[in-house]
A = this chain, B = another copy of it.
Amino acid sequence: MSSIRYALLSLLAREPLSGYDIKQQMNNRLGPFWKAGSNQVYPELAKMEEEGLIRLQGVEQLTYRPARKVYEITESGRQVIIEWTMEPGEVEHIRDNFLLKAYNSWLVAPEKMYEQLEGIKKQHEERLAAYLEKIAELETMRTHGNEQDPIASSISVVEFGVEYERLYIKWCERLMAKQQQ
């Protein structure tokens, strides 16, 4: 699938960015959705430039720092990402190690499992708070009544995250109650 390529094009379809910007957007802002390391971002940008999907928009040079290379998407790159977005795909499977731990809960003392659940629940509560904040921020930037607004798409994705975290928290609470019976 090489999903990293599509992730990069998805971001560049919105605005010109440098490799560093892309890493920041992925790891800080939309962190829990996708992540990427420099080793994936920089070589992939180089490949995509060769293939004409993106082009160097400009280079910002400060003497004491590596040149900041800002890329923009080309018409060809836009077509590729649009095609991919419309392409039908298979649903993927949930991959979460904590579910595997829950599958083993019968093996451990209920008090121990309760502690585990408490810790995981807390982490999901933090994520939930971060997503809600992110949505509030995005709402202020939104062009109302325009569903072709990229901000509206961003909000939809983060809303998924909100619902996911709420589900996870509720599920933890239900399991915690069971450990106390």
Contact = CB atoms under 8 A, between A and B. Distances in A.
Q: Which of A13, A102, A110 has the most C-beta atoms of chain B within 10 angstroms of its own C-beta?
A: A102
A57 interface: no
A101 B157 CA distance: 10
Secondary structure at chain A's binding surface: helix, strand, loop or mixed? helix
A123 B90 contact: yes
A81 interface: yes
B153 A106 contact: yes
A3 B101 CA distance: 11
Interface string A122-147: 01100100000000000000000001
B7 A100 contact: yes
Nearest to A150: B106
Interface in A10-43: 10, 13, 31-35
29 contacts: A1-B97, A3-B97, A3-B100, A6-B100, A7-B100, A13-B107, A31-B93, A81-B104, A82-B107, A85-B107, A86-B108, A89-B98, A89-B101, A89-B120, A90-B123, A91-B120, A91-B123, A91-B127, A92-B96, A92-B98, A94-B161, A94-B164, A95-B95, A99-B160, A102-B157, A104-B153, A106-B152, A110-B147, A147-B179
